[in-house]
Chains A and B, each alone.
Chain A
Amino acid sequence: MKREHQESGGGVGGYPAAEMMLSGKGKMTGMEEEHDGGVDELLAALGYKVRSSDMADVALKLEQLEMAMGSSAAQDDAFLSHLASDTVHYNPSDLSTWLESMLSELNAPPPPLPSAPIPKHQSNQLDLPPPPPVPAAAAPASILDPAECSTVTTVDLPTPRRQSEYDLKPIPSAATAAPGRVVYGPEATVELNARDRKRMRTSSSSSSSSRGGIGVGVVRGMGSSMPSATEASSMAAGPAAGALPVVVVDSQEAGIRLVHTLMACAEAVQQENLKAADALVKQISVLATSQGGAMRKVAGYFAEALARRIYRVHPQQDCALDSAFSDILQMHFYESCPYLKFAHFTANQAILEAFAGCRRVHVIDFGMRQGMQWPALMQALALRPGGPPSFRLTGIGPPQPDNTDALQQVGWKLAQFADTIHVDFQYRGYVANSLADLEPCMLGADAAGGCSSGGDEEPEAVAVNSVLELHRLLARPGALEKVLGTVRAVRPRIVTAVEQEANHNAGSFLERFTEALHYYSTMFDSLEGGCTATGAAAAAEVATGGGQQDRVMSEVYLGRQICNVVACEGAERTERHETLGQWRGRMTRAGFEPVHLGSNAFKQASMLLALFAGGDGYRVEEKDGCLTLGWHTRPLIATSAWRVAAAGDALSAAR
Chain B
Amino acid sequence: MGVMILPLEEEEEEEDKKRRNTFSINDNVDLLVEILGRLDGRSLGVAACVCKLWSSVCRKDSVWEALCNRHVAGGGGGPGTRSVVAALGGYRRLYRLCVGPVLDRLAGGPGLAGWAATREEAAHLSLSLSLSLSLFSIDCYERLGGPRQRPASLLFLCKPVNVS
Please report the C-alpha to C-alpha distance between residue A608 and residue B133 in the assembled complex, in whole angstroms.
12
Q: Choose the segment among B16-24, B43-51, B63-71, B124-132 that binds chain A (4+ C-beta atoms closer than 8 Å).
A: B124-132
**Contacting residues, chain B, for A613 (C-beta < 8 A):** 156
Residues of A within 8 Å of B127, CB to CB, are: 600, 603-604, 607
Does A275 belong to the interface (CB within 8 Å)? Answer: no
Contacting residues of chain B (91-141) with chain A, CB-CB under 8 angstroms: 101-102, 105-106, 127-128, 130-131, 133-138, 140-141
Q: Is A421 an interface residue (CB 8 A)?
A: yes
Task: Tell me how far the C-beta of B161 lies from the nearest C-beta in chain A, rounded to whole angstroms.
Answer: 4
The A/B interface has a contact count, at CB < 8 Å, of 110
Q: Is A196 an interface residue (CB 8 A)?
A: no
Q: Are A372 and B155 in contact (CB under 8 A)?
A: no
- Partner of A383 from B80, B141, B159 at Cβ < 8 Å: B80
Hey, which chain A residues are within 8 Å of B105, CB to CB?
A: 610-611
Distance A195 CA – B134 CA, assembled complex (angstroms): 62
The residue on B at minimum CB distance from A345 is B134
Q: Determine whether A537 belongs to the interface, using a CB cutoff of 8 Å to chain B.
A: yes
> Is A416's CB within 8 Å of the partner chain B?
yes
Name B156's closest neighbour in chain A (CB-CB): A534
- Quick one: which of A372, A537, A547, A607 has the most chain B CB within 10 A? A607
Cβ contacts A382-422/B at 8 Å (1 or 0 each) = 11000100000000000000000000000001101100111
Q: Does B4 contact A (CB under 8 A)?
A: no
Query: Which B residues touch A611, using CB under 8 A?
Result: 101-102, 105-106, 156-157
User: A420 near B160 (CB under 8 angstroms)?
Assistant: no
Cα distance A334–B155 in the bound complex, in angstroms: 12
Q: State A387–B106 Cα separation when bound (angstroms).
A: 30
Say yes or no: B131 contacts A379, CB within 8 Å. Answer: no
Task: Considering the complex, give the chain A residue whose CB is closest to the CB of B150.
Answer: A543
A301–B133 CA distance with the chains assembled, in angstroms:
38
A32 to B83, CA, bound (A): 73
Bound complex: CA of A230 vs CA of B5, how far in Å?
93
Asked if B53 CB lies within 8 Å of chain A CBs, one says no
Residues of chain A contacted by B83 (CB below 8 angstroms): 422
Any chain B CB within 8 A of the CB of A145? no
Smallest CB separation, B163 vs chain A (Å): 6
Residue of B138, B145, B150, B162 near A375 (CB, 8 A) is B138
Q: Contact string, A32-43, partner B, CB cutoff 8 A, digits 1/0?
A: 000000000000
Interface centre among A375, A376, A414, A550 (most CB of B within 10 A): A375
The reply to whether B161 and A540 contact each other, CB–CB distance below 8 Å, is yes
The residue from B88, B131, B134 contacting A421, defined by CB atoms under 8 A apart: B88
Cβ-closest chain A residue relative to B106: A610
A479 proximity list for chain B (CB < 8 A): none
What residues of B have a CB within 8 angstroms of the CB of A547 in the complex? 155
Cβ-closest chain A residue relative to B102: A611
Instruction: State which of A378, A413, A543, A600 has its C-beta within 8 Å of the C-beta of B137.
Output: A378
Task: Tell me, in angstroms, the Cα distance from A208 to B114 when the chains sit together.
Answer: 50
Chain A residues near B77 (CB, 8 Å)? 383
| B144 A417 Cβ-Cβ under 8 A | yes
Find residues 15-70 in chain B having any chain A CB closer than 8 Å to their own CB. Answer: none
A612 interface residue (CB < 8 Å to B) = yes
Residue among B88, B152, B160, B162 making CB contact with A550, cutoff 8 Å = B152
| Contact indicator per residue, chain A 611-629, by CB within 8 Å of chain B (1) or not (0) | 1110000000000000000
Q: Give the chain A neighbours of B156 by CB distance below 8 A.
A: 335, 338, 534, 537, 611-613
15 residue pairs from A and B, CB less than 8 Å apart: A334-B153, A345-B131, A376-B134, A379-B134, A380-B133, A382-B80, A416-B144, A420-B140, A534-B156, A537-B161, A541-B155, A550-B155, A604-B130, A607-B128, A611-B157
